[in-house]
Amino acid sequence: MMGDLEVEKHVQFVLSVEKKKDDFESVAMEHIRINGAYWGLTTLDLLGKLGVVDQDEVISWIMKCQDESGGFGGNIGHDPHIMYTLSAVQVLALYDKLDVLDIDKVSSYVSGLQNEDGSFSGDIWGEIDTRFSYIAICCLSILGRLEKLNVQKAVAYIVSCKNMDGGFGCTPGGESHSGQIFCCVAALAITGSLHHIDKDLLGWWLCERQVKSGGLNGRPEKLPDVCYSWWVLSSLIIIDRVHWIDKEKLAAFILNCQDKENGGISDRPEDAVDVFHTFFGVAGLSLLEYPGVKAIDPAYALPVDVVDRIFIGRR
């Protein structure tokens, strides 16, 4: 028998994370607080509880994280990075407040991080990773400014990171990994380029990630982790191979990772909970069409109603 999702306890857990300012976990998270806000607030929205947080407070804090370059830092006064910029845009999209942005300025920051070979750097220091390709494409698609990128070169770079096993790595020749695969598959989906993927080969690699407990791992011989319920499952849905895994066993694994006393979801059963795994657990259940959880878009990692609102508004 599958346990139930402890919705109210998870809501309280997310709220408690936002309120804690001085314990170890919040100090450790301080530099990525804007990512934490995206994980926490999207979790609340998927559970139909976004209204429990003060919207104006969130938006004014988000806007204080913006740098004069147009990019956003992980917290107020922190250096901008493409990753934090996407989280800021996603949170504003949740609240239907993209209009508070100077969209041209943000999109110029993101497009300025594209390199000659089509790849993207995360910030001015220049680390390159296919995660940043996804982030740039996702961010500018939400903002309606994809044409500011060289999309053809961006796609060609992602395709150059494809491996013999059908998966993708962080740079050409890098080992296939579920997190990178999600980034590459979702970026190819957003740009209408899924024909570059061998869906059966990649689908097989991804469904092999399911272990006996029902959970999914990131690559062969690794332990299962709730966050892969998102990375693997969303990729399988995008390439239409999700029927190749045992969905019920995966849902049971996620529910087993709940802290039923205090709320929150952990990486695997009995471990400590955190907001990152709480979001990916709830997002995984959403992809599994678990009752009472709103549908999430597998490419944009935002609720389907939010994504619909963004794109229908542009027609």
- List helix spans (H) across the chain: 7-19, 24-29, 33-46, 55-64, 82-94, 103-111, 130-142, 151-160, 178-190, 199-207, 227-238, 247-256, 275-287, 304-312
In a domain, 1, yes or no: no
In a domain, 2, yes or no: no
pLDDT, mean over the chain? 94
| Phi/psi-derived region of residue 213, left when phi > 0, alpha when psi is between -120 and 50, beta in every other case | alpha
Contact 175, 219 (CB under 8 A): yes
In a domain, 309, yes or no: yes
Range of the domain at 213: 7-314
Q: The domain spanning residue 69 has which CATH number?
A: 1.50.10.20
Q: What angle do CA 86, 185, 248 make, to 5 degrees?
A: 100
Residue 270 tokens read as 């009995």
DSSP conformational letter for 315:
-
Question: Total structural domains in the chain?
Answer: 1
Percent helix, strand, coil in the chain, to 5, is: 55, 5, 40
In a domain, 139, yes or no: yes
Which residues, other chains included, contact 310 with Cβ-Cβ below 8 Å and sequence gap of 6+?
A: 93, 98, 142
Question: Which residues in the chain come in under a pLDDT of 50?
Answer: 1, 24
The pLDDT value given to residue 17:
86
Residue 99 tokens read as 């209009």
H/E element, 273: strand 273-274
In a domain, 47, yes or no: yes
Give the span between the Cα atoms of 162 and 181, in whole angstroms.
9
pTM, 2 dp: 0.95
In a domain, 157, yes or no: yes
In a domain, 162, yes or no: yes
CA-to-CA separations, 118 to 121, 157, 193, 300, in angstroms, rounded: 10, 5, 15, 21
The pLDDT value given to residue 68:
96
